[in-house]
Structure 1
Amino acid sequence: MIEIAPLAPERDAAVEDLLDAAFGPERRARTAYTVRGGGSPLRALGFAAIDGDRLVGSIQCWPVVLTDDAGRRWPLVMVGPVAVAPDMQQGGIGRRLTEAALAAATDEGLGEGLMLIGDPEYYERFFGFTAARTGQWRLPGPFEPRRLLARGDAVPGVAGMLGPSA
């Protein structure tokens, strides 16, 4: 039975290995890494999927900010990456991890300003993320606008640049 538990700092190295296995070592060149910057994930929103003593999935969330064209800063939470061991994919682990992170975001008072880069068909269907407010957002690197998604009343539909919170 797979347990979903808070992501403890002592699993950080295992998370990096899992991310490499799920996305490849070239993952660090993706635009999402630039958006997150060199900061730290929000520990209260990180979760692990554990099968026995094996880490088979993880999710992390990051503080980011949208700086609109007038210079106003809109703090947001970037959800992801969601990683599942290749031999465990398609079993609902990623969905359970995402549900845990979104519930924790709500509990922490952060549930109204969430964004991610992901598959719109999946994230809209199961979690209510859409591109309705992100059409004027810019990112510090290449991205597919249809995959830039957000949810929550605190998400601004303004033109601006998304980047690290610090």
Structure 2
Amino acid sequence: MATLVPLSAIDPSMVEALLDTAFGPDRHARTAYRIRAGMEWLQPLSFAALDEDEYLVGSIQLWPIALTDLQGRPHPMLMVGPVAVMPDRQGEGFGKALMSASLGAITPDAALPQVLIGDEVYYSQWGFGAKHTGGWHCPGPFDRGRLLVRCSNPAILPSAGMLGPWGVGVETTNN
């Protein structure tokens, strides 16, 4: 049985070790890291999963990012991930619990579109899909079919643009 706690309650070195184990030491070269470069993860939306012995077995972080459209206007979004689970504990529901906790912590009436890079078959259970991201670009290599978005009103999504950090001076809270 998993216990979910705020990620801020976990020693950062333990989180880094989990991420290295789950994704490898070269994970910082991935495109997702470029998208959120220079940003801090959002503490109210980021969680850790502890197993029955209170060992860290998983984590999830959400980040403020933006899609800058072709006219140079930023459209604020949230980036989901990394979603990390210790390889020997995958398939036990920790990832699902972390996703549900983070997405459930987003205030529905103030929700921003959520973006992630991942397997659509898995993440579609939370409403993520690639249907609206065909004209979007990332600052590095990416598989277009793995660039996913979840949005309650897809009509607000720009059809084209570049994902990157949420610009300096842009409010990052859901007031």
TM-score tier after normalising by the smaller chain length = over 0.9
1:159 and 2:160 matched: yes
Does the 8 A contact of 2:67 with 2:163 survive in 1? Answer: yes
Query: What residue in structure 2 maps to residue 132 of structure 1?
Result: 131
Identity %: 51
Query: Matched residue of 1:58: which SS?
Result: strand
After superposing on structure 2, the runs of 4+ consecutive aligned residues of structure 1 that deviate more than 3 Å are none
Report the CA distance between 1:5 and its aligned residue.
1.6
Structure 1 Cα separation of the partners of residues 38 and 19 of structure 2 = 17
Give the C-alpha shift of residue 157 in structure 1.
3.6
Name the structure 1 match of 2:33.
Answer: 33
Structure-2-length-normalised TM-score = 0.88
Distance 1:32 1:47, change over 3 A: same
C-alpha distance in structure 1 between counterparts of 2:67 and 2:23, whole Å: 26
Q: CA RMSD in A?
A: 1.5
Q: Distance in 1 between matches of 2:141 and 2:74?
A: 22
Gaps of 5+ in 1: none
**Matched residue pairs, number?**
164
Alignment of 1:1-166 (within 5 A): 1-51=1-51, 52-106=53-107, 109-110=110-111, 112-124=112-124, 126-152=125-151, 153=153, 156-166=157-167
* Stretch of structure 1 that moved more, 133-142 or 148-157: 148-157
Q: 1:107 to 1:128 in 2, by over 3 A?
A: closer
Please give the alpha-carbon distance, in whole angstroms, between the structure 2 residues aligned to 1:148 and 1:46: 20
Displacement of 1:107 in angstroms is 5.7
Shift of 1:28: 0.6
In structure 2, distance between residues paired with 1:46 and 1:149: 19
Could you state the TM-score of these two structures normalised by the residue count of structure 1? 0.93
Distance 2:93 2:127 in 1: 17
Task: Give the deviation of 1:106 after TM superposition.
Answer: 3.0
